[in-house]
Amino acid sequence: MRPAPGVLLLLLILACDAVLAAPASFRAGPTQTTLLELYTSEGCSSCPPADRWLSAWVDDSRLWQEVVPVAFHVDYWDDLGWQDRYASNAASNRQRTQAGHSAAGVYTPEFIVDGHEWRGWFGGATLPRATANVGNLEVRMINSAVEIQWRPLILGTDFIVHVAVLGSGINSAIARGENAGRQLRHDFVVLADTETALDAHDRQFDKRLALPVPTAPTPRRALAVWIEDAASRRPLQATGGWLD
């Protein structure tokens, strides 16, 4: 006997609640996990190859264990023919901050690896592997809360924790601008993010944050969390994983 429509709806709601209630845990350390940042835009004709290269990490065995990839879509291309719905001024400002510390300038596509400009992609170089021992990062997510524990091996430093919800499996049809007529694939796109200083307790850093809420839809979600040195804004440790 087939359940009534109202019963089916109730079962679907309960199933969704069960998925949301299931805790997700991610950890890294003590060896540094690389934070791989790509600054890109749907309005930039030279960006799709970099986007495709980043998307290849979806099927890489090193994903989340050795490398946490994130794609920041900048907004300074938006007035040049196509408005990127994933772009934000916050992403552009972060790129400018990173450029002020280590990069030669602000451009797209631009890769930043653990806080340092990396131009190796343009020549087909292998991503450098992090070897520094920096500390242990553990993240536990339950419903809409993210609990962070950071146990650094670096003492006497102030830290910032950054939490980002990523979107993957995204396809965009571009109607205007430099990529007019193209179908673009995006993965690891920063859809919503937040950052805050960490509170220290006997060399242990603990924080509980609300999960950032994306405004754009995505077929697949992931969580990326990383720790930055507060003075240099250089990423020190990162972790993450798929949420669905």
Mean pLDDT by 10 residues, the chain (244 residues): 45 38 83 98 98 98 98 96 96 90 82 94 95 97 94 90 98 96 98 93 89 93 96 95 92
Residues spanned by the domain of 161: 23-242
Domain assignment of residue 231, yes or no: yes
Look-up: residue for tokens 């087939």?
A: 2
Q: What's the burial of 17, exposed, middle or buried (CB within 10 Å: 0-12/13-18/19+)? A: exposed
Q: Tens digits of per-residue pLDDT, 75-109?
A: 999 999 999 999 999 999 999 988 876 656 899 99
121, 215 Cβ separation under 8 angstroms: no
- The total number of structural domains in the chain stands at 1
Distance CA 225, CA 165 (A): 9
pLDDT tens figures, 175-206:
999 999 999 999 999 999 999 999 887 788 99
**Looking at the domain assignment, is residue 3 inside a domain?**
no
Q: Quick one: which of 143, 137, 154, 153 has its CA closest to 207?
A: 137
- Three-state DSSP state, 209: strand
15 domain residue, yes or no: no
Q: Is residue 159 part of a domain?
A: yes
> Looking at residue 125, what is its pLDDT?
96
